DNA sequence: TCAATAAATGACACCGGTTTCCTAATGGGG
DNA sequence: CCCCATTAGGAAACCGGTGTCATTTATTGA
């Protein structure tokens, strides 16, 4: 890829080419019982394997006719270069890794989908690798993963992406990586960020605008940066509207359905009962629904609920959930694109900050408070 | 792996080993600026790379002391064999593929999780590959996927797994594969099946036992084998209880939430209105919930609803959904284990049929009909 | 004491690509 | 007409492991 720089002129040649055509045609009748290699192509084309290699790698130093012949033979015998051998010679694997320890299946699937879309376009394949930050082998495990497969790059999803030790391991390994996070941490160049502040602030304005004053908030687990972002932005925006979130109106959940139920039970059995609850993600919002229904609290008449993520469950719930759309698929695509560009252009570090914003989606679960 | 068969005796040797120990210790102070290779290990151990290779591959033909030394050096310099080079020489990739075209994210994630668990234990990595059966490039795309990455094996998830052309492609490629399906199709050896009949029959008995007679059924899309299985088993079991499903009480959905809403609307606006609806999966059951709520029909008082899959949404819904548990994670694990065993033992075809059964889970959405 | 035997190890080619370096042919300028 | 620049292509080494086969050394039986 680094050699065989662009030529300045081009002078076609003849002679060998015409003869080869015949050979090639003759060769096609010949069937191989194993996958064809570059040597087979070279032999059939009466050319050295290096020339075939040049064709494969789009080197400009190949006569147009020769190239045509070789391409025809490649086409006819169905030759495909072995990524193993290529990787060995190139010192590259054409493999990207996706490291995640996120319990939210939908988020992962969406991310994965976006990543795969970008991979597909660039000829990369994706190796997925779930892990567990709480495991003592976590770091070693991640290290082995990257080293063993010789990954060209790794995409790390939160909350694993927010683990500084993991980042250090990746850097030590010299492995290019892109992190997804709710905030741009220490290194903007290696990150794709999603702006949760925007969405959370919109929710605050929405609730304030509807006239809610007794507002409950279910925060995410503190190890997630997104939890901080959503909380701070929400609280701050409420304050701008002259509303102060009382401490007892804030509960910390774990981004799970069950924790949503638990937190909602606490909030809804307090006096004064909140007229609106903002849960930091849709899963917990679903827990709030269930709790409210169990307690005979009507949604949205007696309780406005807002979630975050716009996962499929938001529309499955009844009434449908007002939430904040987090474009996970776009995030995945952006991350992969960023990584692939960096790999292909051989840059050590990217320079542009990349990110997406989250916007509120108003549905049926948010209405003005009663009375 | 095929050479270096087991020895008949063992006679320890001395002499060189003691000297090597010193060399090894001395060598450790030497730091490399690139990932260590087998050559580095060999040089430091004053041994040929072949011997190191023997140690790596657990060949019994290595002197115990030599092995110890080499292992120590490997440990100390952090050497890990390159899977690329290994794969090239072995003609193997240690990579498994997961091919899916299933829109149900949760199902895929669960399968993937099970597959990964098995992969991890056996030292394989997983390359995921979503695809689209409706695309004209579908088969070619799958072929390229397998060939390019030299996959050791592929796991195919329904409905793609039920595409005979895809199976033919895989077979032609000589690629080992395991298919997941609701029924054992033409080749039990290459399949992991889940028995949907059991669960569907249990639902029929459950509904009949509760006293329901006007029962609506939302079938899955006919291209899914599982749709047939669930339908036939349900209808048959109902008949055993003297209940005939009238044609107008059957609607065909697409396994999606939206199609569930559409089908439910049709069913619930007919006379006589069914007192129970069995949806062929939970997503569609969620659509039934939404429709019932929109129409002011109380669940479960006025309408019993049963789903299939036991996906997370079953417990998110209110009241919680009676459904059939399909152990997707186990399915994935079983498939991967089966595949890995076949790869490792170099069997062409497996011989044991593998499968899981589905069982009903009764929750709050199913009660006797009113009156 | 001398094969014969067996364990332990090494030399070398190979897997399927790539890079480096070199040669041959062509055409233009002096 | 010769030399050089330039293009097209090839030979050999290499990437990091493997298989095959030969070689070395020690033990054993005759």
Encoded tokens for A104: 């939210």
- Rounded to whole angstroms, the Cα distance separating B315 from B321 reads 6
- Rounded mean pLDDT of B122-149? 87
Residues 22-51 of A with CB under 7 A from strand D: 46-51
Nucleotide nearest to A45 (CA to C1'): D9
Say what percent of chain A tops pLDDT 90. Answer: 66
Quickly tell me which residue has 């679903």 as its tokens: A286
Residues of A in contact with B257 (CB under 8 A): 312, 315-316
At residue A4 the predicted structure's pLDDT band, cuts being 50, 70 and 90, is low
Query: What is the distance, to the nearest Å, from the Cα of residue A175 to the centroid of all Cα atoms in its chain?
Result: 17
What is the arithmetic mean of pLDDT over B146-151? 80
Q: What is the mean pLDDT of residues A306-328?
A: 96
Q: Strand D positions with any atom < 7 Å from protein CB?
A: 6-12, 14-21, 25-27
- The candidate with the shortest Cα–Cα distance to A160, out of A137, A148, A142, A186, is A142
CA-to-CA dists, residue B168 to A352, B157, B179, B305, angstroms: 46, 15, 12, 40
User: Strand pairing of A323-325 and A359-361?
Assistant: antiparallel
Averaged pLDDT of chain A: 87
Instruction: Tell if the CB–CB gap between B315 and A148 is shorter than 8 Å.
Output: no
What's the pLDDT score for residue A16? 37
CB contact under 8 A, A313 and B315: no
The whole-number Å distance from B24's CA to C4's C1' is: 36
Q: Quick one: pLDDT at residue B83?
A: 87
pLDDT in tens, B256-284: 999 999 999 999 999 899 999 999 999 99
- As a whole number of angstroms, the distance between CA B278 and CA B207 comes to 9
pLDDT top residue among A225 and A352? A225
> Which of A148, A264, A279, A289 should we substitute to test contact with B (largest number of B Cβ atoms within 10 Å)?
A148
| Residue A128: strand, helix, or coil | strand
Asked if residues B69 and B54 have their Cβ atoms less than 8 Å apart, the reply is no
Query: What is the model's pLDDT at position A317?
Result: 96
Q: Which residue has its C-alpha nearest to nucleotide C12's C1'?
A: B50
Mean pLDDT calculated for residue range A2-6: 47
Q: How far is CA A248 from CA A210, A242, A252, A285, in A?
A: 22, 18, 11, 18
Residues in chain A: 371
Q: Do the beta carbons of residue A79 and residue A27 sit within 8 Å?
A: no
Contact B316 A83 (CB under 8 A): no
DSSP-assigned beta bridge partners for residue B127? A127, B97
Which of A178-187, A263-272, B74-83, B341-350 has the highest average model confidence (pLDDT)? Answer: A263-272
Task: Suggest the residue from A84, A111, A258 to mutate for an interface test with chain B (most B CBs closer than 10 A).
Answer: A84
Place of tokens 């450790």: B28
Beta strands in A101-249, from DSSP E residues, in sequence order: 125-130, 153-156, 176-181, 191-195, 215-219
Beta bridge partners of A304: A276
pLDDT tens across B324-363, in order? 999 999 999 999 999 998 888 766 565 677 889 999 999 9
| pLDDT number for residue B9 | 35
Among residues B61, B56, B58, B60, the alpha carbon closest in space to that of B83 is found at B56
CA dist., res. A176 & res. A184, Å (int): 17
Residue contact A108–B108, C-beta within 8 A: no
For the cut 90, the answer to whether the pLDDT of residue A192 exceeds it is: yes
């Amino acid at each position: 890829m680094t050699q065989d720089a662009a030529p300045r002129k081009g002078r076609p040649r003849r002679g060998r080419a015409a003869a080869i055509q015949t050979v090639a045609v003759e060769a096609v009748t010949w069937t191989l019982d194993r996958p064809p290699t570059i040597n087979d192509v070279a032999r059939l084309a009466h050319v050295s394997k290096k020339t075939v290699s040049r064709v494969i790698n789009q080197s400009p130093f190949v006569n147009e006719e020769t190239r045509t012949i070789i391409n025809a033979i490649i086409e006819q015998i169905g030759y495909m270069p072995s990524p193993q051998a290529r990787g060995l010679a190139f010192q590259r694997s054409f493999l990207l890794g996706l490291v995640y320890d996120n319990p939210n299946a939908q988020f992962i699937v969406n991310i994965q989908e976006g990543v795969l879309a970008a991979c597909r376009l660039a000829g990369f394949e994706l190796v997925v690798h779930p892990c567990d930050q709480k495991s003592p082998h976590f770091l070693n495990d991640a290290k082995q993963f990257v080293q063993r497969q010789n990954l060209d790059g790794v995409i790390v999803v939160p909350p694993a992406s927010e683990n500084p030790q993991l980042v250090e391991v990746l850097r030590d390994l010299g492995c290019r990586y892109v992190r997804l996070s709710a905030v741009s941490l220490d290194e903007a160049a290696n990150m794709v960020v999603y702006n949760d502040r925007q969405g959370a602030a919109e929710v605050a304005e929405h609730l304030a605008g509807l006239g809610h004053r007794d507002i409950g908030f279910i925060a995410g687990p503190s190890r997630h940066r997104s939890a901080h972002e959503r909380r701070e932005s929400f609280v701050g925006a409420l304050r701008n509207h002259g509303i102060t979130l009382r401490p007892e109106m804030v509960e910390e959940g774990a981004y799970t359905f069950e924790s949503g139920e638990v937190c909602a039970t606490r909030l809804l059995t307090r006096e004064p009962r909140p007229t609106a609850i903002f849960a930091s993600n849709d899963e917990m919002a679903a827990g709030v629904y269930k709790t409210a229904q169990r307690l005979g609290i009507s949604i949205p008449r007696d309780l406005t609920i807002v979630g975050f993520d716009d996962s499929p469950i938001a529309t499955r719930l009844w009434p449908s959930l007002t939430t904040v759309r987090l474009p996970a698929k776009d995030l995945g695509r952006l991350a992969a694109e960023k990584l692939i560009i960096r790999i292909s252009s051989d840059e050590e570090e990217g320079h542009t900050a990349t990110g997406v914003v989250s916007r509120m989606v108003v549905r049926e679960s948010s209405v003005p408070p009663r009375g």
